Amino acid sequence: MRVLLVDDDPGLRLALSKALSRKGVDVVDLSSGEAALEPLRTGTSTVGPVDVCVLDLRMPGMGGLEVLRRTQARRVPVVVLTGHGTVPDAVEAMRLGAVNFMQKPVDADELLPALQQALREEPPAIATAILGASAPMLSFLERLDRAAQADEPVLLIGEPGTGKELCARRLHDLSGHRKGPFVAFNAASVPDEWLEGELFGQRRGALTGATETREGMMSRAGEGTLFLDDVGELGLEVQGKLLRAIEERRLRPLGADADKLFRARVIAATHHDLKGAVDAGRFRADLYYHLAAIALPVPPLRERGDDVILLARAYLGRSSDRPLVLTPDGEERLRRYRFPGNVRELVNLMKRAALFSERLDVDGELIDELVQQSPFADVARAPFEGEAPRAGERVTLEELEKTHIKRLLSELNNVSEVARIVGIDRRTLQRKMSAWGLRDQGPQ
């Protein structure tokens, strides 16, 4: 076994290296987080492949948490070393995919079994690391992880950009279906007339234009997970078929003469009130109750307290190799901003901060400037808490709405994306657009 030992304390490195090599373990030691990035990403050190990593959390320069954040697709399992009284950091490290943590002081006799155990673990499923330490997020994550154990459908309800897809992936990774594929299907991105064929599959000749037999998303999901994004966009007819598939665990491709088994777990997401769609007769009540067997509301970012700072730092780090620092007034602006586009908007903001900041400081002024240009900003509302709406000319709400939507459409060129950002469904947006004489030109 070859261990990558990353710690800034030369005394500790020497002592542990000696003790571990006496037990037949090969040690490659590194004195900084920066130096560990490459070996963790590639699984190879200067002297050859490494099997497991011991990573100190507190180091000058890049600390262990930052290393974990920056090595999302690691090849090497990581055991972290924490100092006295840094349990929250250890929790954060586990969330970032570390397989175990040990408190200092630590000796080779304790460490070795932990390393052997780490070697037996599957590589960490870091794609599903969900950052958050606020009370609403912790209780949400607890419910999410518990829901993963069940086999019933889960309905994730949350504003655009709150992380619904990330949560669906985590549900998959922690469930009994993880060995199968995760198949995401966005109902808003497919024209109505293709929905059924895309979902259920179709035999050649089933419809005019169906020149070949195609497998649908539902059978592609196999024994894995079928993620139905924007499920409220499904037409009533397809809803009926979907209900049957979920209830009877069978499906029939278009034009086929026999059923197939449907074994995947169903996770659905919606950013608007599905219950309202049920009341309005646009969504089948029976399907709603099936999908909402476990309904999990995902908290909007503005209700997650200082998670916004945690996320901002994490994404600043991921977006740049320069050591960018969020200043206290930068933090203050972020805390007060409403984030209509939630985490996706924050990620986008930090990417632009990393790109446009000439200095290493990311301060309030820069944040203000970036928010003004944010494709997510809601001009009809005050962007910051406690600020009066911008006065401007005397415009009607409809005019405001039209200008805003037009701007978003020209920026993003994507109707579904714009519908998501402004929080209305795609069909409603398309109705508005045709009423205003706007053509739908972008990709769906």
Ligand X SMILES: Nc1ncnc2c1ncn2[C@@H]1O[C@H](COP(=O)(O)OP(=O)(O)OP(=O)(O)O)[C@@H](O)[C@H]1O
158 lies in the binding site for ligand X (CB under 6 A)? yes
414 lies in the binding site for Mg ion (CB under 5 A)? no
166 lies in the binding site for ligand X (CB under 6 A)? yes
378 lies in the binding site for ligand X (CB under 6 A)? no
User: Residue 160: enclosing H or E segment and its boundaries?
Assistant: none
Nearest residue to Mg ion by CB is 165
Q: CB of 258: closest distance to ligand X in angstroms?
A: 35
The single residue among 165, 306, 329, 368 that binds ligand X, judged by CB under 6 A, is 165
Q: Which two tokens stand for residue 324?
A: 């960018």
The single residue among 271, 272, 284, 290 that binds ligand X, judged by CB under 6 A, is 271
Nearest residue to ligand X by CB is 163
Q: Which stretch binds ligand X (CB under 6 A): 82-90, 164-172, 251-259, 434-442?
A: 164-172
133 binds, among ligand X, Mg ion, none (CB under 5 to 8 A by kind): none
| Residues 112, 23: Cα–Cα separation, whole Å | 9
* Cβ contact 314:270 at 8 Å: no
377 binds, among ligand X, Mg ion, none (CB under 5 to 8 A by kind): none
Nearer to Mg ion, 168 or 405 (CB): 168
Nearer to Mg ion, 80 or 195 (CB): 195
162 lies in the binding site for ligand X (CB under 6 A)? yes
299 lies in the binding site for ligand X (CB under 6 A)? no
How many residues in the shown chain lie near ligand X by CB under 6 A?
17
CA 301 to centroid of chain Cα atoms: 13
Q: CB of 189: closest distance to Mg ion in angstroms?
A: 11
Q: Which two tokens stand for residue 235?
A: 């037409």
The single residue among 163, 197, 232, 317 that binds ligand X, judged by CB under 6 A, is 163
197 binds, among Mg ion, ligand X, none (CB under 5 to 8 A by kind): none
Question: Phi first, then psi: what are they for 215, rounded to 5°?
Answer: -75, 140
User: Residue 216: enclosing H or E segment and its boundaries?
Assistant: none
* Site residues (CB under 5 A) for Mg ion, limited to 214-243: none
Q: CB of 358: closest distance to Mg ion in angstroms?
A: 33
141 lies in the binding site for ligand X (CB under 6 A)? no
291 lies in the binding site for ligand X (CB under 6 A)? no
Q: Which stretch binds Mg ion (CB under 5 A): 84-92, 159-167, 203-211, 246-254?
A: 159-167
| Among the listed residues 44, 90, 42, 43, the one whose alpha carbon sits nearest the alpha carbon of residue 65 | 90
Nearer to Mg ion, 9 or 165 (CB): 165
189 lies in the binding site for Mg ion (CB under 5 A)? no
The single residue among 57, 226, 343, 409 that binds ligand X, judged by CB under 6 A, is 343
Nearer to ligand X, 161 or 232 (CB): 161
| Residues 6, 62: Cα–Cα separation, whole Å | 11
Where along the sequence are the contacts to ligand X (CB under 6 A)? 130-132, 158, 160-166, 271, 311, 343-344, 347, 420
* Chain residues in the site for Mg ion (CB under 5 A): 165
